[in-house]
Amino acid sequence: MTDRIVEEMKPFFDPRAVAIIGATDKKGKVGNVIFENFKTNKERGIFRGNIYPVNPKLDEIEGYRVYKTVKELPDDTDLAVISIPAKFVPATMKDIAEKGIKAVIIITGGFGELGEEGKKLEREIYEVAKANGIRVIGPNCVGVYVPDTGVDTVFLPEDKMDRPKSGPIAFVSQSGAFAAAMLDWAAMAEIGIGKMVSYGNKIDVDDADLMDYFVHDDEINVVTFYIEGVKDGRKFIESAKRITRVKPVIALKSGRTEYGAKAASSHTGSLAGQDTIYDAVFKQTGIIRAEDFEHMFDLAKAFAELKYKLPKGDRIGIITDGGGAGVMASDAVAKFGLRMAELSEETREFLKERFPPHAVVGNPTDVVGDTDAERYRIALEGFVNDPNVDAIVVIVLFQVPLLEEEKVIDILAEYQRKSDKPIIAVAMGGRKTGRYARMLEEKGVPVYPTPERGVRAMAGLVRYAEYLRRKD
């Protein structure tokens, strides 16, 4: 299983040569944008493979030879990207099979999502693929984005959609438009995406295949899914159980209501199924369910930084320099089914001896608004060494007048490195706070803009840790 799935999927992410079937010199057309993506990444030194445009009506595009047919392609072609009208795709698949290309991304829409005629085309394509050992992503998708290898089949040009930097998060989406929007958002939020796959109608490669691949991908720490429906429940469950023992998986499942399920069916032809069944499957397999896209990436950010530092229990310690923010965090602890840690007497004495009288020792511990960075160091020292504290949420209101911003950032990063307890930071504010938050994240501390989002992300770490303990 390991060698086979890695070998089958590798051309999607790092091909020797890509054939762009439907490449054109008409600016803005899907085939042109995909060609330009590869060409630009080749010029940047990122894409290392060869680029072969295919179009019977052209001889060259921007200095690249254009091949008239698939049969003319060089033998090193191991990935084909198709962006021609749906009715021509089955015949093109037969040519691809004859050529011996084993990986195909079908960008084109107009298949099963439109009804029976489209489903018939899908069956024809699948039969050719199955008979010839071809793996297919799509149709009706935006395909694959890998910043490290320069694979980019997203047909939205860079002046319309920013591409995120590389990182340890894999993002898999049934919806192409959602995938594109999330890449754009991740770029703005400076969240690194190592691999993105949009599989659309998933006539072949599906969630389970991708989980089986990512379990062996050392560059990916956490896998996130946007799912509308699962076609093979047994296969999904078996793959999910395999990967969640090794890496966290986060799923945002839409189609929760009758209206949403109907919309999902018309979108990608998915059968959304009863939402309670998905809830049960996610719990059984250790998949963490996200409530919305913000929650999905909040969780992904926490796991990306803290994958190897999971909490040993659900007792949360809170440090803050603002009493109200500490109250909000405490409410969130209860809301998300966690417990407030009861500080040991030794910790309380340790803090009291070193804090001024007006600082509040307890949980939350409030270092108050005249704090300096040193008080945060003292509080962290106490919480990190307290056996009653499993995880720590540190709220830093950078607006307080005596706080040395860079010093407190270094202190948080230091304790994140040396402690075996996960530490999450909350920084509430505007542009200046955003700058400090980015500095913190660059040093390995995940940061959230509200106490609720920070605690909710920590709850995901706790739940995943609980699942692993049950499986041991």
DSSP class of 287: P
- Per-residue model confidence (pLDDT) at position 266: 46
Tens digits of per-residue pLDDT, 294-330?
Answer: 999 999 999 998 877 999 999 999 999 999 999 999 9
The residues that bridge with 448 in the sheet, in sequence order, are 426
Tens digits of per-residue pLDDT, 71-81?
Answer: 999 999 999 99
Which amino acid appears at position 430 of this protein? G
Residue 2 has pLDDT above 70, yes or no: no
Count of CA atoms in the C-beta half-sphere (13 A) of 349? 3
Q: Determine the average pLDDT of the residues in 96-107.
A: 98
- Per-residue model confidence (pLDDT) at position 229: 85
Cis peptide before 139 (omega within 30 of 0): yes
Which amino acid appears at position 4 of this protein? R
Q: pLDDT band for position 435 (50/70/90)?
A: very high
Which amino acid appears at position 367 of this protein? V
- Per-residue model confidence (pLDDT) at position 142: 96
Residue 257 has pLDDT above 80, yes or no: no
How, if at all, do strands 423-426 and 447-448 pair?
A: parallel
Dihedral sign for Cα 294, 299, 302, 305, please: negative
Measured CA to CA, the distance from residue 396 to residue 409 in angstroms comes to 9
- If you compute the radius of gyration of the chain from its CA atoms, what whole number of angstroms results? 25
Dihedral sign for Cα 236, 238, 239, 242, please: positive
The residues that bridge with 160 in the sheet, in sequence order, are none
Question: Cα 354 from chain centroid?
Answer: 42
DSSP string, 160-215: TSPPPPP-SEEEEES-HHHHHHHHHHHHHHT--EEEEEE-TT-SSS-HHHHHHHHT
- pLDDT more than 90, % of the chain: 89
Q: Determine the average pLDDT of the residues in 64-90.
A: 97
Asked if 75 and 104 count as a contact pair (C-beta separation under 8 A), the reply is: no
Other CB atoms within 10 A of residue 146 CB: 23
Averaged confidence pLDDT in the chain: 94
What's the whole-model pTM score?
Answer: 0.91
Return the closest-CA partner of residue 288 out of 167, 454, 465. Answer: 465
- pLDDT more than 70, % of the chain: 96
Asked if 209 and 185 count as a contact pair (C-beta separation under 8 A), the reply is: no
Residue 358 has pLDDT above 70, yes or no: yes
Residue 259 has pLDDT above 70, yes or no: no
Other CB atoms within 10 A of residue 331 CB: 13
- Per-residue model confidence (pLDDT) at position 307: 74
Residue 60 has pLDDT above 70, yes or no: yes
Q: pLDDT band for position 256 (50/70/90)?
A: low
Residue 13 has pLDDT above 70, yes or no: yes
DSSP string, 369-402: TT--HHHHHHHHHHHHT-TT-SEEEEE--TTSTT
Q: Determine the average pLDDT of the residues in 274-282.
A: 88
- Per-residue model confidence (pLDDT) at position 273: 53
Return the closest-CA partner of residue 257 out of 281, 228, 286. Answer: 228
